[in-house]
Amino acid sequence: MNLMKKILTAAVASAMIAGTAQAAISNNEVRIGYLADMSGTYRDLAGPNGLTALQMAIEDFGGQVHGAPIRVLSADDRNSADVASSTVRQWVERDNVDMVAGMVASSVTLAAVRILEQNDKLGIVSGSAASSITNEHCSPNHIHYVYDTYPLAHGTAQAVVQEGGDSWFILTADYAFGHALEADVEKVVLENGGRVIQKVRHPFPTSDFSSFILQAQSSGASVVALANAGSDTTNAITTAGEFGLTQSGQTLAALLLFLTDVHALGVEAAQGIQLTTGWYWDMNDETRAWSDRFMEKTGVRPTMVHAGIYSSTLHYLSAIEATGTDDTQTVRRHMMDTPINDMFAQNGIIREDGRMIHDMYLAQVKTPAESQNEWDLYNIVRTIPAEEAYRPLSESQCRLVNN
């Protein structure tokens, strides 16, 4: 009888713990919203395949947390801050979404995180680049995961200046991301003894770069830097090739270039371009294995954003599992207290400003002779340690940081 009583007591206790944990999951369901450009300029770098990466993370986690199912909503933000605001407001106020993932255009992200903070919900930003997202625009309600303009500038721009690129023409996408990247790059160029001859901004998005490339050629700058992304970058590189920009002795520096961009351009057109990336599919056995699974589902190799969405979603769900709740601040604190060690990052940490820091990589696009297949695109030139890659907290303007 004593043994039976112990068994029954343990069973009742377990049931009570499980019931309490599930009760701490709001609406008895974990709800994630995926917000991204699904059809425009940034479709390939995140888009529908980013949703696939998120769903892979949920499947790998088992599809539920403490018995509560995980539900996903998704929307095309159309690179519009207004669309993002209305979508996220509806998600958190009507649909009780707990976390919003994805977010690519920085203007979209800044609009979305304001709504999230007002409603004390969580955002995990994987696609946006503006370093201001965890600097002057930081909040206790979002995390910036994959990369930002600070390591892009300190990786690519610093390397190019040190190789002799002392005079710069910067062509910038005219919105928050482009402005942030332009500012970070100019700072790095000047600190390393270079000079910026001219800065020109182009509409976002645009398809005709002829006049801008002509201005770059006539500037006499040794380096023409592209502070843009997605199809804007590939269109600018294609136009530069048509105008013979590099043949005339100028160096083309793509400050934010994704694997899908290089694939679209082809190694013949993109060979030799240096870039900074937060992840590459062919780095080791673990990255290759996950990328093989991703490619089976999508037909393409993943970008660093796709990998970051997968990693951050698992990290988020693991925090709910560990804490027994989807309460925003409890989950965010646990995510900050727990190092990230997975196929995306080793010893990654989330700082108090919300910036997830991890090693970044300076890469160079292979030549046609080096490339063994259509996705064999990068040589990793060097690793940029996390503590060197990201803006030090001593320089932070974030209100959450005690300098």
Contact 315, 321 (CB under 8 A): no
* 401 within some domain: no
The whole-number pLDDT of residue 394 equals 96
Residue whose tokens read 């049931």: 15
Domain count, the chain: 2
In a shared domain, residues 131 and 38: yes
In a shared domain, residues 131 and 239: no
In 3D space, the residue among 290, 226, 282, 220 whose CA is nearest the CA of residue 253 turns out to be 226
In a shared domain, residues 261 and 374: yes
In a shared domain, residues 193 and 288: no
Q: What is the mean pLDDT of the chain?
A: 92
* 53 within some domain: yes
Helical (H) or strand (E) element with 188: helix 176-191
The list of the chain residues with pLDDT below 70 reads 1-23, 403
* 208 within some domain: yes
In a shared domain, residues 174 and 252: yes
Q: Any idea what the CATH number is for the domain that residue 188 is in?
A: 3.40.50.2300
* 395 within some domain: no
The whole-number pLDDT of residue 279 equals 98
Q: Domain residues for 369?
A: 150-277+360-383
In a shared domain, residues 298 and 159: no
* 6 within some domain: no
The whole-number pLDDT of residue 235 equals 94
Number of other CB atoms surrounding residue 361 within 10 Å: 21
DSSP 336: H
The whole-number pLDDT of residue 403 equals 61
In a shared domain, residues 238 and 368: yes
In a shared domain, residues 115 and 261: no
In a shared domain, residues 205 and 111: no
* 390 within some domain: no
pLDDT in tens, 198-230: 999 999 989 999 999 999 999 999 999 999 988
The whole-number pLDDT of residue 176 equals 86
In a shared domain, residues 122 and 38: yes
Predicted TM-score of the model (pTM):
0.88
Contact 229, 37 (CB under 8 A): no
pLDDT in tens, 140-179: 999 999 999 999 888 889 888 988 999 999 999 998 889 9
In a shared domain, residues 231 and 293: no
In a shared domain, residues 138 and 260: no
